[in-house]
Chain A
Amino acid sequence: QVQLVQSGAEVKKPGASVKVSCKASGYTFTNYGITWVRQAPGQGLEWMGWISAYNGNTNYAQKVQGRVTMTTDTSTSTAYMELRSLRSDDTAVYFCARDSPGPVSTGADYWGQGTLVTVSS
């Protein structure tokens, strides 16, 4: 069965970086993309970006462009999302999800369990 398992919760200081992992299983990793979405406490869903697991092409949201890097390791079927220069408003639960192989999504059908990232001095 398809599963996405994310790394554990993180606490970071402002200005630091965080790297969240998302290990996929149960499907051919390179046939899909991975979308990253975050949700601040009590708020809605915010799309952060997408990466093709086939060729590494990325598409980032304007809001985090320049601070975010999404990568994949096809040898381990793992996707990574690194966010730099953290601010308090980056405090959120970060989700990965299996998505379309191209940048235009037809629906993210399997999701990781979420990773809480807390940014606090």
Chain B
Amino acid sequence: EIVLTQSPGTLSLSPGERATLSCRASQTVSSSYLAWYQQKPGQAPRLLIYGASSRATGIPDRFSGSGSGTDFTLTISRLEPEDFAVYYCRQYGSSFGGGTKVEIK
């Protein structure tokens, strides 16, 4: 079973700053099947990125995904107030990473 490890656990940043979130897999993951989700308190998750680097419908271009093999990254170029949330990576349609909380500094 592939285990996804996300880091850091919490990222404290100010609006306008750049956020870089990491997702590391215990085995090679096909880029086609690596996705990123955003979740705000009391809400369902929202698909941000699929295929490691493709933005889902309606997702602003400040969100970008990259990586291959075992190392993947979600970058938010300039944090907007609505971007403070928890972010999860997911592989092959099964397991999720433990999440990274992006909080206001």
Chain A residue with the shortest CB-CB distance to B39: A45
Interface size band for B: 20 to 34
Number of interface residues of A (CB under 8 A): 25
Determine whether the beta carbon of B96 is less than 8 Å from that of A105: no
Closest CB of chain B to A93's CB: distance in Å?
A: 9
Partner of A105, one of B44, B45, B57, B90: B90
Determine whether the beta carbon of B35 is less than 8 Å from that of A105: yes
Determine whether the beta carbon of B92 is less than 8 Å from that of A111: no
Bound Cα distance from A32 to B34, whole angstroms: 18
Determine whether the beta carbon of B47 is less than 8 Å from that of A105: no
* Interchain residue pairs with CB less than 8 A apart (24): A44-B97, A45-B99, A47-B96, A50-B93, A59-B94, A61-B94, A95-B44, A97-B44, A97-B45, A99-B93, A105-B33, A105-B92, A105-B94, A106-B32, A106-B50, A106-B51, A106-B93, A107-B35, A107-B50, A107-B51, A107-B56, A109-B50, A111-B45, A111-B46
Chain A residue with the shortest CB-CB distance to B35: A107
- Interface residues in B53-83 (C-beta closer than 8 Å to A): 56-57
Bound Cα distance from A47 to B96, whole angstroms: 7
- Interface residues in B26-43 (C-beta closer than 8 Å to A): 32-33, 35, 37, 39
**A residues within 8 A CB of B88?**
44-45
Contact A109-B47, Cβ < 8 Å, known A46-B96, A47-B95, A99-B93: yes
Q: Which of B33, B44, B95 has the most CB of A within 10 A?
A: B44
Determine whether the beta carbon of B44 is less than 8 Å from that of A44: no
Chain A residue with the shortest CB-CB distance to B1: A62
**B residues within 8 A CB of A105?**
33, 35, 90, 92-94
- Interface residues in A42-60 (C-beta closer than 8 Å to B): 44-47, 50, 59
Closest CB of chain A to B78's CB: distance in Å?
A: 24
**0/1 interface trace, chain A 15-42, chain B, CB 8 Å (1 if under):** 0000000000000000000010100000
**A residues within 8 A CB of B37?**
45, 108
**A residues within 8 A CB of B86?**
44
Contact A106-B39, Cβ < 8 Å, known A44-B99, A47-B96: no
